[in-house]
Chain A
Amino acid sequence: MFTNELIDYNSLKKNLKKDPTSFPVIRLAILSDSATQMVVTALKGYGYEEKLNLEIFEADFDQVDRQVYDSSSELYRFDPQFIIIFFCINNLSRRFGNLSFNDKSAFAADYLSEIEKIYSAITSKLTGKLIFLNFPESLDAVFGHFGNKTDLSLTYQLRKINLGLMDLSQRLTNFFILDLNALQARFGSQFITDYRISVNTDLFFSIDCLPVIAKNTLDIIQANIGRVNKCLILDLDNTLWGGIIAEDGIENLQIGELGIGKAFSDFQRWAKQLKQRGIILAVCSKNDEVIAAEAFEKHPEMVLRMEDFTVFVANWNNKVDNILYIQSVLQIGFDSMVFIDDSPFERNMVRNYIKGIAVPEMPEDPAEYLNYLTSLNLFETSAFTTEDENRTKTYQEEFKRTGIRNQFANEVDFLKNLHMVSRVEAFKPFNIPRVSQLTQRSNQFNLRTVRYSEAEIQKIAGDPGFITRAFSLGDDYGDYGLIGIIILQVKPGQVLFVDTWIMSCRVLKRGMESFMLDQIIGIAKETGATCIQGEYIPTNKNGIVKTHFSDLGFKQEGNYWILNPSGITSGESYIHAE
């Protein structure tokens, strides 16, 4: 849940006395060469705030190697979903300091190969994700600024390690970086570490820093379990530009060079980059629609343009109703929306009436908007795919379809006229990231809500005990991309168990469900299966598929839904296999 102020350590600690057992369990291991008891406390306490029940295995102090290289260690028996590895800069500096000059220039390369060995050892036995804390800057001043000009300095070797870690995380699946270096840049090294305490106790983080570390760790974990913000809803007057367009006129808006326009231009540039990486932008403003739109169409210095917005709502209704409307158009949860408005009145109203939406308390001075918003890390993600890149376009195509729909007297004619084509393939290296992302993020059309990492999907793809299909859909108006997946498990007794059936809600009511079922029936017949077995595991978000199996003709038997594939011929479908 979004909060404006970080909760202090003492309050987090008190959360440990509360009962988290009604929350989803996350199993987490932490390995470090510093003392991490307080980190564990902060993580658990913060987990409670985020409605997660963190079960944490904390390795004994400085036992990283033993845990990693002993295949019977507690780490492997614990089988965590996430493994946090934190090597402390103090120890790294000491190690570097002890090297002779001859060995110093190879330090980073040696260190990085050690990290990769740790990664290989862990991932050969566990499917969990590694979260590695990179290193804060060293301030050793042995060479001063000249340290940039020689590879013998800690400055150089440390930055090389941090860069190398980024390369590793791009190359290796399930390797994530917690950017402690960026946190140091924001908060300062005095904030991160209290030297009087670290020298006495081996506690690296200051008490005040612990909630920051907990929040940022949980940001990464939550992104990996599908809790991400997908949409940024923006007010206009005094939020995206300075001034009130209806009163001041388009030519007097503070944007670009006028007044403190740069602050607003920078803010717009940030929003535009979010859009480019898959965040949906929406406008929700009390304004005349024509006048508001004109600013984006005609003002030469406007960074955002009409085509950047997926939904544009400018009217005189209250903002709660308008956000409900935006939600109905986008079909995403309120808990994945961020609302930004300079008016405390509007913020409070939205906060009070829409549960789950993140409403940052904005600074009074627009010059501080961006710095404040970036400090909140509102848009953590666990992957970036072409679907993300094209999201705004995809929505816009969808609106065209909706417009066309009204021209047809009935649903069937409309569907026929779309000329839908679906590509059906087994999981392959190029679609695995998107497949994994769908299992992580889909909450509504998801029968069992089993989350799979890329590594796990890879394993399933190569396992003859499973049959996998990824579905893409396109039509005359555009390409939806990869929108559905099924994972079938071959079970004894000619049973085909539907382990995973996920579909993007964007293709609801297109007949895609029946098309996917036809494919399953086809597979059943090919493999000689006599029984297709489905299961619905209810969550508080997947109510829309409660009657999925019965709608498709499955019969309930205990906890399962059964369909005999023989004799079933596929019904009329408006989707053609490519």
Chain B
Amino acid sequence: MPEMERTEVLKTIKLIMEDVFDVSPLVINELTSAADIEEWDSLNHVQLVVTIEKHFKIKFTAKEIRTWVNVGEMCSSILNRQ
């Protein structure tokens, strides 16, 4: 897979979030966390993770899924695997 810019990854995450949370448009940045978005509960988090994995064709570890605190950390996990 070609290397992707961080901003592109962020943009993709935003689109996936809009679909999973069924909220559009959604404004996010690297510091956005579950506390900032009402729909981002623990169940939607699971669905979000799985959807991101499918999109980027990657697998996160159980620990990553549990410990991300914001969108920026998710971006880093994705880019680490590119």
B22 touches A197 (CB 8 A): no
Interface residues in B7-37 (C-beta closer than 8 Å to A): 19-20, 22
Instruction: Report the bound CA distance from A196 to B60 in whole Å.
Output: 9
Are A10 and B62 interface neighbours, CB within 8 A? no
Q: Give per-residue flags for A192-231: 1 if the beta carbon is below 8 A from chain B beta carbons, else 0.
A: 0011110111010011100000000000000000000000
B42 / chain A contacts, CB cutoff of 8 Å: 201
A95 within 8 A of B: no
- The distance in angstroms between the C-alpha atoms of A199 and B49, with both chains bound, is 15
**Number of B residues whose C-beta is below 8 Å from A?**
16
A residues neighboring B (CB under 8 Å): 9-10, 13-14, 17, 37-38, 41, 194-197, 199-201, 203, 206-208
Q: Judge if B61 is at the interface, Cβ distance under 8 Å.
A: yes
Say whether B50 faces chain A, with CB atoms less than 8 Å apart. Answer: yes
B66 touches A38 (CB 8 A): no
B43 touching A200, Cβ below 8 Å: no
In the complex, the answer to whether A37 meets B50 with C-beta atoms within 8 Å is no
A14-B22, A17-B22, A196-B60 known; A203-B47 Cβ under 8 A: no
Task: State in angstroms the CA–CA spacing of A208 and B51 once bound together.
Answer: 10
B47 near A10 with CB under 8 A, answer yes
New A-B contacts (17) at CB < 8 Å, excluding given A41-B43, A196-B65, A197-B46: A9-B47, A10-B19, A10-B20, A13-B47, A14-B22, A38-B43, A38-B46, A38-B47, A194-B50, A196-B61, A196-B62, A197-B50, A197-B62, A197-B65, A206-B50, A207-B47, A207-B50
Let me know if B47 and A201 touch, CB within 8 A. no
- Contact of A10 (CB < 8 Å), options: B43, B51, B65: B51
User: Which residues on B sit within 8 Å (CB–CB) of A199?
Assistant: 62
Give, as a whole number of angstroms, the nearest-CB distance from B5 to chain A.
Answer: 26
B80 to chain A, nearest CB (A): 17
A432 to chain B, nearest CB (A): 43
- 6 closest A-B pairs (Cβ-Cβ)? A196-B62, A207-B50, A200-B66, A199-B62, A197-B46, A37-B43
In the assembled complex, the Cα of A9 lies from the Cα of B49 at a distance in Å of 14
Residues of A within 8 A of B20 (CB): 10
> Distance (Å) between the CB of A211 and the closest chain B CB?
13
Q: Please, which residue of chain B has its CB at the minimum distance from the CB of A38?
A: B43
CA distance A534 to B43 in the complex (A): 51
B22 adjacent to A13 (CB under 8 Å): yes
Chain B: CB-nearest residue to A200: B66
Determine the distance from Cα of A9 to Cα of B22 in the docked complex, in whole angstroms: 13
Bound CA span A38–B60, Å: 21
User: B65 to chain A: which residues have CB within 8 Å?
Assistant: 196-197, 200
Given known pairs A196-B60, A196-B61, A196-B62, the reply for A203 and B22 (CB within 8 Å) is no
CA separation between A203 and B19, bound complex, in Å?
Answer: 21
A203 to B42, CA, bound (A): 11
- In the bound complex, how far is the Cα of B43 from the Cα of A331, in angstroms? 47
What is the CA–CA distance of A200 and B50 in the complex, to the nearest angstrom? 13
Q: In the complex, which residues of chain A have a beta carbon less than 8 angstroms from the beta carbon of B66?
A: 200
* Residues on A with beta carbons closer than 8 Å to the beta carbon of B61: 196
Contact of A207 among B19, B46, B60 (CB under 8 A): B46
Instruction: For the complex formed, measure the closest distance between the CB of A15 and the CB atoms of chain B, giving whole angstroms.
Output: 11
17 pairs, A vs B, C-beta closer than 8 Å: A9-B47, A10-B19, A10-B20, A13-B47, A14-B22, A37-B43, A194-B50, A196-B59, A196-B62, A199-B62, A200-B46, A201-B42, A203-B43, A203-B46, A207-B47, A207-B50, A208-B50
Cα A201 to Cα B43 in complex, Å, equals: 9
Closest B residue to A8 using CB positions: B51
Name the CB-closest residue of B to A208: B50
Those of B40-55 within 8 Å (CB) of chain A: 42-43, 46-47, 49-51
In angstroms, Cα B66 to Cα A197, docked, is 9
Q: How far is the CA of A195 from the CA of B59 in the complex (A)?
A: 12
Task: Give every chain B residue within 8 A of A37 (Cβ-Cβ).
Answer: 43
**Identity of the chain A residue whose Cβ is nearest the Cβ of B51 in the assembled complex:** A10
Residues of A within 8 A of B47 (CB): 9-10, 13, 38, 207
Q: How far is the CA of A465 from the CA of B62 in the complex (A)?
A: 61
Return the contact of B46 from the options A10, A14, A201 (Cβ within 8 A): A201
Alpha-carbon distance A208/B46, docked complex (angstroms): 12
Bound: A459/B43 CA distance, A: 43
> Least Cβ distance of B33 to chain A in Å?
17
Q: How far is the CB of B39 from chain A (nearest CB, A)?
A: 11
In the complex, what residues of B have CB within 8 A of residue A200's CB?
A: 46, 62, 65-66
Residues of A contacting B49 in the complex (Cβ-Cβ under 8 angstroms): 197
- A contact residues around B46 at 8 Å (CB): 38, 197, 200-201, 203, 207
Q: How far is the CB of A271 from chain B (nearest CB, A)?
A: 37
| Chain B hits for A201, CB < 8 A | 42, 46
Write out the residue numbers on chain B whose beta carbons fall within 8 Å of the beta carbon of A10: 19-20, 47, 51
Minimal Cβ-Cβ distance residue in A for B22: A14
Which residue of chain B is the closest to A210 with respect to CB atoms? B47
Chain B residue with Cβ nearest A16? B22
Q: Which B residues are in CB contact (< 8 Å) with A206?
A: 50
Which B residue's beta carbon lies closest to that of A194? B50
- Most chain B CB inside 10 Å of its own CB: which residue of A38, A195, A197, A199: A197
Q: Output the nearest chain B residue to A206 by Cβ-Cβ distance.
A: B50
A208 to B61: give the CA distance in the assembly, Å.
Answer: 18
- Give the distance in Å from the alpha carbon of A38 to the alpha carbon of B38 in the complex: 18
Cα of A10 to Cα of B61 in the assembled complex, Å: 22
A193 to chain B, nearest CB (A): 13
